[in-house]
Structure 1
Amino acid sequence: MKLYPINAGNFKLDGGAMFGVVPKVIWNKTNPADEKNLIDIAARCLLIEDGDRLLLIDTGMGNKQSDKFFSYYSLWGDDSIDRSLQKYGFHRDDITDVFMTHLHFDHCGGTVQWNTDRTGYELAFKNARVWSNEEHWQWATKPNPREKASFLKENILPIQESGHLNFVKRSGEAFQTNSELGFDILFADGHTDKQMIPHIQYQDKTIVFMADLLPTAGHIPLPYVMGYDTRPLLTMPEKALFLENAAKNNWYLFLEHDAHNEIITVQQTEKGVRLKDVYTFNELFN
């Protein structure tokens, strides 16, 4: 097995929305905002090469939305899935599986693209099976008013129409092994219903793809919960239990949305779990 970080692009989000009830004077120390109160955000995906399988976790925003849509998110930098794949000698047609932690547009938008004449949509990874779970799929295709703007039908319905949609089978446990995909999955409900957090065993380390359970290193303290979370009072105990396990077991946390910190570890302190070390992917694995 080999892992590759894949940057699908960078954007900005409102810092207040990203930190909920936490005052700006506090979160601005770790996630400094610009003059519009926006903070740097990444769409850092993860590619797993394992034998004949090439599995991509999350796909970023994609590029099919309107200029007006993208203007809300202040895109920056020149990273893309295609450039990142090419860096490692791969093409999107090589991808055999796309695993979506959840179906918010900034995590799954790159899974679907315009067709050649822009009359409809097609899979951006034409040879890939696409993985979600049935409970989250139902949640996303019949969205509540709070999340409706994040679950875009053009990102979701073409996957099912393509015939490539697969559901991860759940045992009912929050944490379970998935032998078909080759990694363990933690199901978390605070951010959105049945978000999936992969735990990957790699070079004697546990790499956890954090998705929106821990967006950035600045979100480690328990009350630092995004305004986007549908059940913030559930996010806190989910995060507390996860961080305790991460500190105890020295897990390496792969941050999808932290534009400046790729991988971190955490430790127990008198103030609770806090940041321990920060690594680049290359420092750990090259």
Structure 2
Amino acid sequence: MKLHVIDTGFFKLDGGAMFGVVPKTLWQRTNPADENNLCTWAMRCLLVEDGDRLILIDNGIGDKQDAKFLSHYYLHGEATLKSSLHTAGFAPEDITDMFLTHLHFDHCGGGVQYSSSGAPELVFPNAIYWSNADHWEWATKPNAREKASFLKENILPMQESGHLRLIDPAVPSPFPQFDIFYANGHTDKMMVPVIPYKGRKLAYMADLLPSTGHIPLPYVMGYDTRPLLTLDEKASFLTKAAAEDYVLFLEHDPVHECCTVAQTEKGVRLAETFTLAEL
């Protein structure tokens, strides 16, 4: 098995929204804000190369939204989804499986584009697009709080194309390459892949742990639908990660690709940061 980092660029979100009830005087130490209180965040995806399968985990925000939408998020950086795939030696047509941790626009928007005629089409025409039944229901019939994050133009073409498959946690996983941890605090049934790699376990943290700045348990995003549940899920997962020396792959950290955590007298804290290539 080989793992490839697929960078898709950066965007900006309000720092207060990203850290919930934590005061700015604390969170700005790790994630400094600009004059508009916006912090920069990565959209870092992961490509799993295993035999004849190429499994892409998340795909960023994409570029099909209109200028008004994109102006709210200040997309920047030289890397794009397709350029990063090319750098890794692959094309969109090579992807066999598009695994989506959840269907918020910054995690799945890059999987659908508009054709020259203006019709939606899949960026990965030969791939199966994977979600799960509970989250699909949650995303296609969204609550008022998350409605702005679940965009039908990102989601429905997967189903309409016939490429959508829904994972059932009660039956054997279609991915023997990794285990899946289901988290419900951020959104319903977000999937966190835990991948055996080089004698370690590597967890693609999605929005369970957006950055190293979110490691202390109370540092929970204001975007989370069930923040107290996130706190419990983080406590359980990070305690196990510290005990078993997990590598935590960070989707949104603007600086660090990977980290480890350790148990201290103050609770679980950051241990080391490094790139995937340094493993």
Same fold (TM over 0.5): yes
CA deviation profile, 1:19-77 (whole Å, cap 9, x unmatched): 00000000000111111111110000000000010010001001100011111001111
1:135-168 per-position Cα deviation (integer Å, ceiling 9, x unaligned): 0000000000000000000000010000000111
CA distance in 1, matches of 2:223, 2:175: 31
User: Which residue, 255, 261, 285 being the options, matches 2:256?
Assistant: 261
Q: What is the match of residue 42 of structure 2?
A: 42
In the alignment, does 2:181 pair up with 1:186? yes
Distance 1:180 1:208 in 2: 14
Counterpart for residue 69 of structure 2: 69
Report deviation, 1:171: 1.9
Give secondary structure in 2 for the equivalent of 1:44.
strand
1:80 alignment partner in structure 2:
80
Q: How does 1:127-276 map to 2 (within 5 A)?
A: 127-171=126-170, 178=173, 180-276=175-271
Q: Is the 8 A contact 2:100 2:108 kept in 1?
A: yes
Task: Look up the match of 1:99.
Answer: 99
Structure 1 CA distance for aligned equivalents of residues 273 and 56 of structure 2:
23
Tell me how many residue pairs correspond in the alignment: 279
Q: Deviations over 1:234-266 (max 9, x none)?
A: 000000000000000000000000010100000
Structure 1 residue matching 2:103: 3-state secondary structure:
coil
| Cα distance in 2 between the residues matched to 1:17 and 1:101 | 20
Q: Tell me, what secondary structure is at the counterpart of 1:245?
A: helix
Structure 1 residue 178: deviation in Å?
2.7
Q: Where do 5+ consecutive residues of structure 1 fail to align? A: none
SS at match of 1:9: strand
- 1: CA distance, partners of 2:94 / 2:116: 19
Pairwise CA distance, 1:277:
0.3
Q: Structure 1 CA distance, aligned partners of 2:159 and 2:198?
A: 35
8 Å Cα contact 2:167-2:174 kept in structure 1: no
Specify the SS of the correspondent of 2:277: helix
For residues 179-205 of structure 1, give each alpha carbon's deviation from its aligned partner in whole angstroms, at most 9, with x where no partner exists: 535210000000000000000011111
Partners of 2:177 and 2:167 lie apart in 1 by 12
CA distance in 2, matches of 1:252, 1:33: 27
Structure 1 match to 2:33: 33
Q: CA RMSD in A?
A: 1.0
Percent identity over the alignment is 62
Partner Cα separation in structure 1 for residue 170 and residue 30 of structure 2: 38
1:115-126 correspondence runs (5 A): 115-118=115-118, 120-126=119-125
CA 154–179 in structure 1, closer or farther in 2 if over 3 Å, else same: closer
Q: Deviations over 1:86-128 (max 9, x none)?
A: 111110110000000000000000111102221x201110000
Question: How far did residue 278 of structure 1 move?
Answer: 0.3
Query: Given residue 147 of structure 1, which amino acid in structure 2 is its aligned partner?
Result: E
| Contact map agreement 2:135 2:188 (CA 8 A) in 1 | yes
For normalisation by structure 1, the TM-score amounts to 0.96
Aligned counterparts of 1:95 and 1:58: Cα–Cα separation in 2: 12
